[in-house]
Structure 1
Amino acid sequence: MQLRNLVDKMNVLVYTGNGTTTDSIKHTLYSLRTLLSPYYAVIGVDSKVLLNEPWQSKTALLVFPGGADLPYCRQFNGEGNQKFSKFVRQGGKYLGLCAGGYYASARCEFEVGNKELEVSGPRELKFFPGIARGTAFGGFQYKSETGARSTILDVDEEALPGCGKTVYNYYNGGGVFVDADQFSNVEVLATYRDQVCVDFGSGKAAAAVVGCSFGKGYAILTGTHPEYTHLLMKKSDSVPDFEKVISELRTKETERLAFLRSLLHKFGLKVNDDSLAQPTLTPLHLTSLYPEKLQQLVKSLETNIGYTNGLLKCTTDRFKLSLSAENLQKLDQDFQIPEEAIKQLVIHINSLPARKDTPFFNLESYYNHLKRFWTKYNHPMGDFGSTLIYGEVLTSTSSLMDKNANLLRLLPHGFTITGTTQVSGKGRGGNVWINPPGVLAVSTLMKLPTSYSERAPIVLIQYLATLAYIEAILRYDDSGLYSTIPLRIKWPNDIYILKPEYVEDVSQIPQGEAAYVKVGGILLNTNIFDEQYHMVAGCGLNVNNAAPTTSVNSVISAINEVRAKKGMTGIPPVEMEVVLAGFLYHLERMFNEFKTSGFSPFLDLYYRRWLHTGQIVHIQHQNNTRAKITGITEDWGMLIAQEVDSENNLTGTRFELQPDGNSFDMFNGLISKKS
């Protein structure tokens, strides 16, 4: 099998290190996730990631938010800026918001003549080849709303179609882009309507937002804050008039979203068209096949954690417990920061929730299929998924367990959380996104004595979970129809599927395009309590939602079109409840064997399911050595790559590469060492 050379760029990186402010980061992440989910993972990253990790090939947009640009310079002058410049020159995209706009101009002139505030000098990136001069409006003070305002921008409708002639943006200390209309590589996207207090050059109006062509790439720099939403703003006791700013921005929120959406469209990004705010958290439903065990769990939580002001206060989350969905008290919460909001936990001891309370997931069907799998193979009923929390909208199935240590240590082996929509879904490398309906997100707690670590290294459990998800689809039922679905493993723990358009004839794949795209992945987090590993396997599989790549059922639909041409019956789409039950059954069965025999019994199956046997790669931290992938080690699951010469003959040099020490860009054939 030949792997292609195109990697879908699904990450939007937001710098969150020195120089940024907490508010700027919060607003930037919120607004970008609101508009770019589910197509991109919007990730906060620090300087270590940007300086040392090979982020460029998987990044659609690099964002520098508001704050102060001098710390940006101290952090990235030289090597860092060379990376950013090369990234954009080769086709990358850059968004600089306020301080990020000053930083990416050829020169910054901030409050020149003001002894306390002046910052001026040349800048290295030079995406905008002129001067960014500020502040546009007087009264600015660091770490204050003094001088902040709601400002009107006149928008170039030809450059940004669909967002109207004017927009109101939050402003606090931004600049103007001097003589922006005089540069051939620059287009003025919006100008300040009000008179600014600095010289903006010879144009008719001061440029507030500019778009800059740079090599093959593009940068948008702003003096205002189109990412700021009134939803996250708070009144200021020291600046009473700031309440008027919030009120005005509230009335103009629709226009702000349209403007920011147009800026993102300008980059060529895929933006959701629904203007959806972050979904509101819904009640969590705790159910079990074993009422007595559930009662014991609730009593243990009450005894060991206890209630404070009617709330179960865990390490990071607070839960309001109820024994009936009908008697839920509406919590008086302002706009939700999901991680800080109180979660409502409804406990169902002797019955399941009413279907109206879980319209997107049939708990009765799920439990029936879980029992069916165990009965079918003549096994006693297992633990995985027998006690389960379901939430229609929740933060993160993994974080609810993994980030609450005092809760985690009390939960039983096999305890599972699943949900329809995650608003803080997490993946490898800190990826955070909103998981929409159609993605089966599940996290399961597995306990293992630390004494087992030599015979069953826990790093390999992520491999087991990946295999279990694959088997849940390929062995969906007894018909054998699902065994042909082209699901594969991308080492170490991502799930890929053949693109629907190539199901009929893989020979039609254009040169340089990837045949397979990601539809799932696994993340394993581990804690140790009482000489036991407490491992939370967070797993996601795109079952129904076609964004951002494709879904299992989309591929099944494509397969059915081919089968119909041949006069064959179609394959029914898979159902969430059946896939989840099958996944938990296969994972527990594998886990039980793994405890005694390690990974050896699963090695052949793993090879049959993965993409990489015989693939030629370049190991960049070994002087770009060419090597052939020949397998993984049975003890720690490290990737075995053997050096080859120009004719692909083995030289005898062997490399063993660990998943958390290296970055694998498999579709470009590159392996890079992480710092």
Structure 2
Amino acid sequence: MNILVYSGEGTSRTSLAHTVNSLRALVGHHYDVMKIDAQGLLTEPWEESTSLLVMPGGRDLPYMRDLNGRVNTRIKEYVHNGGRYLGLCAGAYYASSRVVFEPQTPLEVIGDRELQFFGGECRGAVFPGFVYDSEKGANAVQIRLNKQVFEPLRLGFDETRVYFNGGGFFVAPEQFSSTTQVLAWYGDEDQQAGGGSDTPTPRAAIVACQVGRGLALLSGVHPEYDAAHLDARNPEYGPMPNVVSRLIERDAERIRLLQSLVKLMGLKLTEVVPPPAAAAVATGSDAGAAVIPVGAIMGIPSLTPLYLASVHPSLTADLARTLASMATPEGLIKEANDTFQLIPSPQHPIPEHTPTLVETSEGETEEQIIKNLVICPDQVPSTLLTPEFAMGDYFRHLQEARGSGLAGPMARFGSTLLYGQVVSSTQTMLDKNFGLCQHLPNGLVCNATIQVAGRGRGRNSWISPPGCLQFSMVLRHPVAARHASAVFVQYLVALAVVEAVRSRPGYEEIPMRLKWPNDIYAEAPLDHPSQAVAHESENGMPKMVKIGGVLVNSNFSGSEFLLVIGCGVNTTNPNPTTSVNHLIRYYNERHGTNLALFTQESLLARVLTKFEELYNGFLGGNGTGFAQFEQLYYRRWLHADALVTLTTETPHRQVRVKGITLDYGLLRTVAVDETGREVPGQEFRLQPDGNSFDMMKGLISQKS
């Protein structure tokens, strides 16, 4: 499931960054936190796969201009039908019935709004001094929590301070008591603030509004702001102790408050225990609470070293010489996106590096740190260094899976491994550092236990949890192989994941399937057969849930395509949908079998050897390309003769899925009439990267 954060015109880049980072830290193990603009909200079938829609801080008027009408109608229907909306500052103004902002000043904004999740008026700014695109009006405001709501959550405090800059308060929420509950009020100090002196205190700072079967949580303050990522030296924050220092003092409380708000919206939190050695902030009444590092976003672990090893030491030695030739005298490989520090062996000390702030292409600020790359020249690192992934076990499984059928120079995929327990993104480290990638051997695999900035297709990005097998691989695909278009590589990888399980004796009926173009799905296991009706999908078939996906990035280099293949498949963690091992356990229970579960090491080895088998046949195969795998692919996919609605056509057209073309891998569909009969001569061919698909719901729409 997704959490969508609006990123369109009017959104504050700073607010957007804090919102995305905080949500990924708090719930990123269970949800894919994605940005979406007005066009996406208008055209994509986002409702069914969205657990929360977030409208961050910024400017309310551009929201109106871009979202009024059809988009707001979809948002209202989504929430009324059980969805959740989080409005922060401008997003809270926007979701109220009426806005009164800075009346009788040059900044005046007054008017009605369409969403009307809060039935009354949102009035501000509560505190004076607000200036657009500035921190002059920023404040560390006191808020008092509603004890009735928060005491059961055992926060250990009933007031705290959070970031504020231009937010409003909710006028007379008691008039809407049947649908609205106040979660927090501004503190006593706001009696001297702006926003209308005729309104008595207390003033509602955060409210929860029941909207049909859904919920809207609206906040005039910014609990998502992490003070550690604010510049305390900015003179607009005032002399020390200033806004930032006061926020940092209470940051542990802010995190727990934000966790509680997330829980109140019905979302699952990522459970992370901070390292015991970290400096901590604690309150006297908080003895049972988790220890939280000062200024830290709870849930994002620190990056760990990368370890490089191979199935044979000679392969490691060859690559080590190549890497050394690229490095500075200090052992640094400086690339476009990352800098790597070469460490000659695990016996050498691992240096500590200081993070630096850099601006991304989207105008946001993020931390970057030098990544330590440890060469393991003679043997794989001890499991004391890589406790979550035994590289020795992996290489043993790899050789066993290869057997005698893939020996010699053709046995190359996965023979060299770069592993990190916690990394930024395996895909980014290879794809965004093109100079380094050009020097890496064909078939090198980079894998990780946890990614804190994993990448998927389009806007997808997530913090991936333990239990998800995630890896990226370098593949040099020859341009001259005209019969073997590179577009089919993503299909072969997805097929290899499914076949790695289902081709194993006894595992043939494990219900893993393919969703075009590059997702891996499974039938949701039922805890008990009596629950079958509740778990079935609308068409009476077993509910299908996503457990994995594939991403392929391509660069052209001389006579070959330099592909970086990214893949993730949930192996052992049943959240947020299910996992390969959960499917096997359920199968064993239902059929009285005793099929062994997979480890990360064994599944990675089987996926790579299966892909190598398919890919070698793809390049050879007497020039038949993907045609030799077409029927196997169709046996595994979900879409045989499926009826879908093509929303790119006006009026919308209903079409039947017939397959994929064997030249460029396009989805081949044929129009059908009202009776479901195919219309001769009306064929539509759709490409993976030109359309957005929700084929489980029967929709195909054009991407923006």
Q: Taking structure 1 as the reference length, what is the TM-score of the superposition?
A: 0.91
2:700 corresponds in structure 1 to 671
C-alpha deviation, 1:502, in angstroms: 6.9
Q: Deviations over 1:223-250 (max 9, x none)?
A: 1001012332221241343654333333
Query: Contact 1:177–1:200 at 8 Å: present in 2 too?
Result: no
Match of 1:317 in 2: 338
Mapping of residues 365-380 of structure 1, within 5 Å: 365-377=393-405, 379-380=407-408
Q: 1:463 to 1:497 in 2, by over 3 A?
A: same
Structure 2 distance, partners of 1:606, 1:122, is: 54
CA–CA distance in structure 2, aligned partners of residues 472 and 359 of structure 1:
25
How many residues of Structure 1 are paired with residues of Structure 2 in the alignment?
656
Within the candidate set 38, 43, 54, 2:45 is matched to: 54
Q: Which residue type is aligned with residue 386 of structure 2?
A: T
Deviation at 1:126, TM superposition (A): 2.5
Structure 1 position 192 matched with structure 2 position 186: yes
Measure how far apart 1:424 and its partner are. Answer: 0.8
- The Cα offsets for residues 450-483 of structure 1, whole Å up to 9 and x where unpaired, read as 233x31121111000001111111234xxx1222
CA contact (8 A) 1:661 1:674 kept: yes
Q: Which residue of 2 aligns with 1:167?
A: 160
CA distance in 2, matches of 1:88, 1:230: 31
**Structure 1 residue 255, shift from structure 2 partner:** 2.5
- In 1, the alpha carbon distance for the partners of 2:444 and 2:116 equals 53
Q: Distance in 2 between matches of 1:468 and 1:659?
A: 19
Alignment of 1:132-147 (within 5 A): 132-147=122-137
Find the counterpart in structure 2 of residue 279 from structure 1.
Answer: 301
Distance in 2 separating the partners of 1:171 and 1:345 = 41
Paired residue secondary structure (2:65): helix
Q: CA deviation at 1:647?
A: 4.4
Q: Distance in 1 between matches of 2:76 and 2:665?
A: 37
Long gaps (5+) in structure 1: 1-9
* 3-state DSSP of counterpart to 2:521: strand
* Matches of 1:433 and 1:42, distance apart in 2: 6
Using the TM superposition, name which of 248-257 and 427-436 deviates more. 248-257
Which whole-Å CA distance do the structure 1 matches of 2:272 and 2:397 have between them? 35
Is the Cα–Cα contact under 8 Å of residues 414 and 608 in structure 2 kept in the other structure? yes
Choose 348-357 or 589-598, whichever is displaced more.
589-598
Residue 289, structure 1, aligned to residue 316, structure 2: no
State the SS of the aligned residue for 2:657.
Answer: strand
* More deviation, 26-35/196-205: 196-205
Q: Which residue of 2 aligns with 1:466?
A: 494
Partner of 2:368: 340
- Aligned equivalent of 2:282: none
Which residue of structure 2 aligns with residue 619 of structure 1?
646
Provide the residue aligned with 1:6 in structure 2: none
Partner of residue 574, structure 1: 598
Amino acid at match of 1:574: F
Is the CA contact (8 Å cut-off) linking 1:179 and 1:203 kept in structure 2?
A: no
**Are 1:95 and 2:86 matched, yes or no?**
yes
Match of 2:514 among 471, 489, 493: 489
Displacement after TM superposition at 1:448 (Å): 1.5
Residues 465-524 of structure 1: per-residue CA shift (max 9 Å, x gap): 001111111234xxx122221111111211111222179699655462752211111111
Which of 56, 72, 76 aligns to 2:63? It is: 72
Deviations 1:291-315 (A, max 9, x none): 4443343333444x44286531111
Change in Cα spacing, 1:66 to 1:600, as seen in structure 2 (3 Å) is same
Instruction: Give, in whole Å, the separation in 2 of the partners of 1:560 and 1:216.
Output: 38
2:246 maps to a residue whose letter is E
Whole-angstrom distance in 1 between the partners of 2:523 and 2:627? 28
Q: 1:440 to 1:664 in 2, by over 3 A?
A: same
Change in CA separation of 1:438 and 1:201 when aligned onto 2, cut-off 3 Å: farther
For 1:290 and 1:483, the matched residues in 2 are separated by 33
Closer, same or farther: CA 243–324 of 1 in aligned 2, 3 Å: farther
Rounded to whole Å, the distance in 2 between the matches of 1:627 and 1:47 is: 27
Deviation at 1:321, TM superposition (A): 1.2
**2:111 aligned with 1:109, yes or no?**
no
Q: Secondary structure at the match of 1:73?
A: helix
- Whether 1:603 and 2:630 are equivalent positions in the alignment is yes
* Counterparts of 2:589 and 2:197, CA distance in 1: 60
**Alpha carbons of structure 1 residues 59 and 308: separation in structure 2 relative to 1, 3 Å:** farther
Q: How does 1:443-462 map to 2 (within 5 A)?
A: 443-452=472-481, 454-462=482-490
1:384, distance to aligned residue in structure 2 (A): 0.9
Contact 1:133–1:200 (Cα < 8 Å) also in 2: no
Q: Deviations over 1:337-365 (max 9, x none)?
A: 87612111111122211220011111111
Q: Give the CA RMSD over aligned residues.
A: 2.5
Give 1:530 shift. Answer: 1.9
**1:214 is matched with which residue?**
211
> Which among 542, 545, 556 is matched to residue 573 of structure 2?
545
Q: Is the 8 A contact 1:469 1:583 kept in 2?
A: yes
Work out the CA distance in 2 between the residues paired with 1:674 and 1:130.
37
Residue aligning to 2:555:
527
1:182 aligns to what? 175
SS of match in other structure, 1:354 = coil
1:498 is aligned with what amino acid? E
Identity %: 40
The separation in 1 between residues aligned to 2:396 and 2:133, in whole angstroms, is 56
TM-score by length of 2: 0.87
How far 1:11 moved relative to its partner?
A: 0.8
State the SS of the aligned residue for 2:526. Answer: helix
1:298-447 correspondence to structure 2 within 5 Å: 298-303=320-325, 305-307=326-328, 310-333=331-354, 340-377=368-405, 379-380=407-408, 382-447=411-476
- Superposed displacement of residue 617, structure 1: 2.4
CA contact (8 A) 2:6 2:37 kept: yes
Retained in 2: the 8 A contact 1:421–1:437? yes
What's the counterpart of residue 205 of structure 1? 202
Work out the CA distance in 2 between the residues paired with 1:295 and 1:230: 45
Q: CA separation in 1, counterparts of 2:316 and 2:212?
A: 61
Further displaced range: 31-40 or 162-171: 162-171
Measured against aligned partners, the alpha-carbon deviations of 1:30-89 in whole angstroms (never above 9, x if no partner) come to 111111121110112233323333322222211111222233233333443333333333
String of CA shifts for 1:196-247, please: whole Å, max 9, x gaps: 3222775641011122233443221111001012332221241343654333
Query: Residue 400 of structure 1: SS of its match in structure 2?
Result: helix
Cα 1:178/1:473, change in 2 over 3 Å: same
8 Å contact from structure 2 (residues 355, 368) kept in 1: no
Distance, in Å, in 1 between the alignment partners of 2:689 and 2:313 is 40
Return the alpha-carbon distance in structure 2 between the equivalents of residues 252 and 277 of structure 1: 18
**Residues 14-29 of structure 1 mapped to structure 2, 5 A cutoff:** 14-29=5-20
Letter in 2 for 1:294: T
